[in-house]
Amino acid sequence: MIKNILRLVTLTALNYMVFFNSPLVNAQQFISELTSVPVLRSLDQNSVYIFISLIISLVTLWFLYFFKPFIEVYLMYYLKFNFYFIINFVSLSSIYIAFRIYGYSRLYLLLYLFFASFFMLLSDRLKT
């Protein structure tokens, strides 16, 4: 449980850093869709970025648990970093496409993918 919470918080923070360091990021379509709901009209841009980061982290963890039984032992032992990289990439790209987020910094996106994959590899060593 602690490992999952640590992963969720770290992935959310790393993804928020992509938004924070990307000066041209544009999520206005998603924000305008959210503000069409009367309860969500008071959302500001930072809270939407945190929400998107949290959703990406949750999807990443869900993909991780969904695909883990289908991976062979050889792949999990020798190519674990690549497995985490692909999981992070698929979850990130699917949410960015679904929420129509564009204008993000590709450098910070690559840094996110490497750091998130490396962190997930290190967090596997934690006992739960």
Q: What is the pLDDT of residues 79-114, one digit of tens each?
A: 888 888 999 999 999 999 888 888 888 899 999 999
Residue 23 lies in a domain: yes
Residue 71 lies in a domain: yes
Structural domain range at position 69: 2-123
Q: What's this model's pTM, rounded to 2 decimal places? A: 0.84
How many domains are there within the chain?
Answer: 1
Residue 82's pLDDT is 87
The position carrying tokens 């690549």 is: 82
What pLDDT band is residue 126 in, cutting at 50, 70 and 90?
confident
Could you tell me the sign of the dihedral formed by the alpha carbons of 86, 91, 95, 97, in that order?
positive
